[in-house]
Structure 1
Amino acid sequence: MTATHYSEPKGFDNVFNTTVRWLADHGVNLAGAQTLTVTGRVSGLPQSVPVNPLQLNGREYLVAPRGTTQWVRNVRVNDSAELRRGRRRRAVRLVEVDTAERAPMIRAYLDKWGWEVGRFLPEGMGTEPDDATLAAHLDDLPVFEIRA
């Protein structure tokens, strides 16, 4: 997996992420947001970020609309993670989905949260990409299956 797309959180994004993470940590279900905690690949310390788990065909996924983010890089080194909303915590493994299999997850994710994440997507992709455009960006958007 060699995707290079990465939309770094800046300015208001940091405030928004902090607010959404705080709400999820306190049990507020804001559009399905949960807090993902992974182990930092360099520091070894817990790193937390708000995410939107996607339910699709009886499975659950995380899509990284910002691309190859820090949490993605951390999970590629150590697939153990925790998802949390309020007091509900669950230990999970995150298994990366092969690039060729990502289209349905990305499309469903954009259908549900495109309004929220559209500005993070690769340039020219948009929140309602046609099949060719989506196929051209599959490697830019990592997808992980959430497993118990």
Structure 2
Amino acid sequence: MAYLKPPWFTARVFNRVAMATGLSGTQTLTVTRRSGGPQRIPVVVPEVDGVRYLVSTRGESDWVKNVRAHPNVEVNGARYVANEVPVEHRGRILAAYRPLAGKVVEGYWRKLPDDADHPVFALTPTV
């Protein structure tokens, strides 16, 4: 699977500002790295038919690999179990996600046009 590495500014500056301020409707995703430590990244979380989802616009990123290894995640402090959505069921979720995320993601879809290039995870709340 392909991966679009973010530019230095995005990874080191923009992501931190987005998480601190909720810029563009972002929320903070916290996952457990395969090494055991936390990884925090800003995400836009669409809701479709009452279910919240995580979407990777850049393909098979580190957070995607980490979620696959450790599916217990937090979004803005709320705990969930993330389950990967099969490719054939991603279309409606991705269609809901794209307008929420804005024009910046359109470039990612031009570079990675197939739904299979964008991992999606359904979030099930834990108690």
What does 1:105-120 correspond to in 2, within 5 Å? Answer: 105-120=93-108
Matched, 1:94 2:95: no
Partner in structure 1 of residue 54 of structure 2: 62
Matched, 1:103 2:91: yes
Give the Cα–Cα distance (whole angstroms) in 2 for the partners of residues 75 and 91 of structure 1.
13
Matched, 1:139 2:110: no
Give the C-alpha shift of residue 124 in structure 1.
Answer: 6.6
Change (3 A) 1:49 1:124: closer
Partner in structure 1 of residue 24 of structure 2: 31
Give the C-alpha shift of residue 72 in structure 1.
Answer: 0.4
Change (3 A) 1:75 1:122: farther
Give the C-alpha shift of residue 100 in structure 1.
Answer: 0.6
TM-score (norm 2): 0.89
Partner in structure 1 of residue 20 of structure 2: 22
Change (3 A) 1:122 1:74: farther
TM-score (norm 1): 0.77
Contact 1:65–1:120, Cα closer than 8 Å, also in 2: yes
**Structure with larger Rg:** 1
Q: How many residues align?
A: 124
Give the Cα–Cα distance (whole angstroms) in 2 for the partners of residues 124 and 47 of structure 1.
24
Q: Unpaired segments of 5 or more residues in structure 1?
A: 25-29, 126-136
Q: Unpaired segments of 5 or more residues in structure 2?
A: none
Q: Which has the higher helix share?
A: 2
Contact 1:53–1:61, Cα closer than 8 Å, also in 2: yes
For residues 44-90 of structure 1, the C-alpha deviation after alignment (integer angstroms, 9 at most, x for no partner) is 10010000000111111111111111100000011001111xxxx21
Matched, 1:123 2:111: yes
Give the C-alpha shift of residue 117 in structure 1.
Answer: 2.0
SS at match of 2:4: coil
Partner in structure 2 of residue 6 of structure 1: 3
RMSD: 1.5
Q: Which amino acid aligns with 1:62?
A: L
Partner in structure 1 of residue 33 of structure 2: 40
SS at match of 1:100: helix
Q: Detail structure 1 runs of 4+ shifted over 4 Å in the superposition.
A: none
Q: Which amino acid aligns with 2:25?
A: G
Contact 1:80–1:92, Cα closer than 8 Å, also in 2: yes
Give the C-alpha shift of residue 11 in structure 1.
Answer: 2.5
Give the Cα–Cα distance (whole angstroms) in 1 for the partners of residues 117 and 82 of structure 2.
18
